[in-house]
Amino acid sequence: MLKSLAAITSYHEGDLSILRQEPWLQMITSAEEVIVNIERIDSIKELSIGNPVLDYVEKTLVILDELALSFWVKEILEKVLIWSEVAKGGTLKERIAWQKEGVNLFVHNVGSAELFSRYGNAGVSERMNVIQTLIATHGLVGQYLRGEVIFAENRPLTELVTQGLLSAQELTDVLIPLNECIIGAVSPELSLSIQSEIEHSIQQIVHGHISDTSAVKDRIRKLRTATIKRGESFEIELNKLDQSIQVELDLAPMEHYTLWYVEAALQDFTLEEFIKVFMLVLHSEKIQNIRHISFEPLMNTMYYDYKGVKKMNVYKKRIIEKYLQEFSWEMIRSGATINNQHLKHSILGKRDLPDTLFFSFEFSAAAEKLIEFCIEAEKSPLYEKAVLLLFDLFDLRRDAYDRFNNEEEYLADMNQTADYKKVMLQHIVGQQVLDIGPGGGVMLDLIEQELPHVKPIGIDISSNVIEALERKKQLEGHTWEVMKGDALALQEYVEKGTIDTVIFSSILHELYSYIPYNGRKFNHDTVAAALTSAYAVLSPGGRIIIRDGIMTEPFDQKRRIVFYEPDGVDWLRRYAKDFAGREIEFEVLSDNEVIMLVNDAMEFLYTYTWGEEAYVHEVQEQFGYFTPSQFTAFIVETLGEEAQVLISQHILQAGYTEELSKRIKIMDEQGNEVDLPDSTCLLVIAKPE
């Protein structure tokens, strides 16, 4: 076992005396401030219950210990690995002192090399010069492949050969296992997948084939690697941007800087937003004489834990997106600012680090508190109200389509609904189809698979949905299209009379529930506006297909509900208090039995079926808002006598009976057990030719 691994083992076993013998271990373990690339962790909680820097160093040493290397190579690499992360350690008092002495703790490879020279018993020797150079260039090959540095940053390694400190073969023998250790400790799969690229880069370094410049677009492409793997259409988006700016020219100064934590901070933003951030930095007056640009402050503020898992702070992301949208390219070039009292971008230096700039976004204290409140309220009925306060503060849109904290889960659930949506395919006519509120894209997929002659287009007002669908399209090779737009104003996005079929699949009740049309939600005028908008873009002979919630007739019939679960009546009480759609009334007959109007009963049971996890959202939605006869009359009243209702069907959606039979018994007023009423309608409306 390596001496350093034995030291770590002793420390884990409680032997603190080992710290006096190993200054590198003392620095790492005494860290009062956790400094780690958040990409490497799954939960923010890990930062408070462990030492991720020590864990990483230990992983690198374990890999080194298992490699079959000559004694001198292993000895050098052990020294390099134990010192390469020390700039992330030290007490706060020590770190302040180091910074005052000029140690760059924020450019960790450089800072670690400086600390090694002071505390590593380095002395002055060729061997120690080699080790210090390896620490100072630690990770640069991988960072070059990620786009964070230009290749010329590796020149000190080449100079080890030109100065005769190592032969070309010796440098190769050192760099290949070194990079295997530092990348393999992050991800063995990543190390294996880029092995050939690492070896090629090392050969270029060893033989002095190093260029001072790097093509800007190539570098941006590398910086977007994680985003591209998640489905970003990089080349398409880059070509679009090239029509507005000259990317290669406008971002040419990038070649002068090393970049830190770019992917972790910016990978969830669009390419346009990503480039705007860089333009803001490059056109700052503070950029003079700078070598390093760090996005570490932004990275640290953009994540939080949700259900124990690290999650992008989408509240901040949406606000930042709007802020960046307000910047034109001309404004950025001219150095103009935006007057926003709750958000600004910051480009700051540190007094003791004249060659380093730090970029972030700064929120006002009020905004930070409100965002914290939204996070705390995520599992509470207060959540939607909290989000609306956020919308008001930043003048964002006032619907709730971005579910923020569980959008990915919601879209995944939507994709489980293919079977019952498939029935709508037989009613599609023509070649141009608009799917309103496409969710996870299940309807778009079905149309593409079953009706290859049809061109499906999804339209949604949610940025989350559009971004997820664009990634899905790229990753899975779909041909359908998506666009961001308002279902109540379709004519602003497509020409009148050009769409053959418009589909509203379980979306009209969300428009009804969430859109404050004419100043109020739960407004039938919202449904009318959506249908009118769809009818306007229909071609002659075109159709509107609706699949949505339905109420049952007659209205005044009642149902008795017996709960099998002891908290069932309490659930109903809470629901009646929180439900935003209308007043829910019921009479308690016993500890576990109530009687109530049938449509109130069903509206409650829809939410009860989904359970606690979905409660915060479902309590905001009214699934049924018309009976079948009311819906037909409403369509004719809204669209005129010429609109033909070709099909009006209603069914009980599969799953409700099975799920609810485990939790309740439903009876008529006399106590006779009865079936659940129909929950869902299918309507097909035709426009005359």
User: In the structure, what pLDDT confidence band is assigned to residue 404 with cuts at 50, 70 and 90?
Assistant: very low
State the Cα–Cα distance between residues 9 and 504, nearest whole angstrom.
61
Cβ neighbours, 10 Å, residue 200: 12
Q: What is the pLDDT of residues 315-330, one digit of tens each?
A: 898 889 889 999 999 9
658 backbone φψ class: left, alpha, beta (φ>0; ψ -120 to 50): alpha
pLDDT above 90 for 561: yes
Q: Which stretch of 46-60, 358-372, 514-528 has the lowest confidence by average pLDDT?
A: 46-60
Q: State both tokens at 595.
A: 């009687």
pTM of the model: 0.73
Predicted confidence at residue 419, as pLDDT, reads 64
Average pLDDT (124-129) is: 82
Q: Which residue has the higher pLDDT, 138 or 126?
A: 138
Structure-token match 């490059």, residue found? 282
pLDDT of residue 407: 45
Looking at residue 122, its pLDDT comes to: 59
DSSP-assigned letters across all residues of 147-168: TSS-GGGGHHHHHHHHTTSS-H
- The residue assigned the tokens 């190769």 is 172
Question: What integer is the mean pLDDT of 440-464?
Answer: 91
Measured in whole angstroms, the distance separating CA 669 from the mean position of its chain's CA atoms is 49
Mean pLDDT of 654-659: 85
Once rounded to an integer, what is the mean pLDDT over residues 581-594? 95
pLDDT on residue 612: 77
Using the predicted structure, report yes or no on whether residue 415 has a pLDDT greater than 50.
no
Q: pLDDT digits over 179-236, tens only? A: 999 999 998 998 999 999 999 999 999 999 887 667 899 999 999 998 998 888 899 8
Residue 36's pLDDT is what?
Answer: 60
Percent of the chain with pLDDT over 90: 65
pLDDT at 667 over 90: yes
Instruction: Using pLDDT thresholds of 50, 70 and 90, give the confidence band for residue 615.
Output: confident
**DSSP per-residue codes, 184-200:** HTT-HHHHHHTHHHHHH
Q: What is the pLDDT of residues 6-61, one digit of tens each?
A: 999 999 999 999 998 999 999 999 987 666 666 655 555 655 567 888 999 999 99
In angstroms, the CA 526 to CA 548 distance is 15
What pLDDT was estimated at residue 383?
A: 72
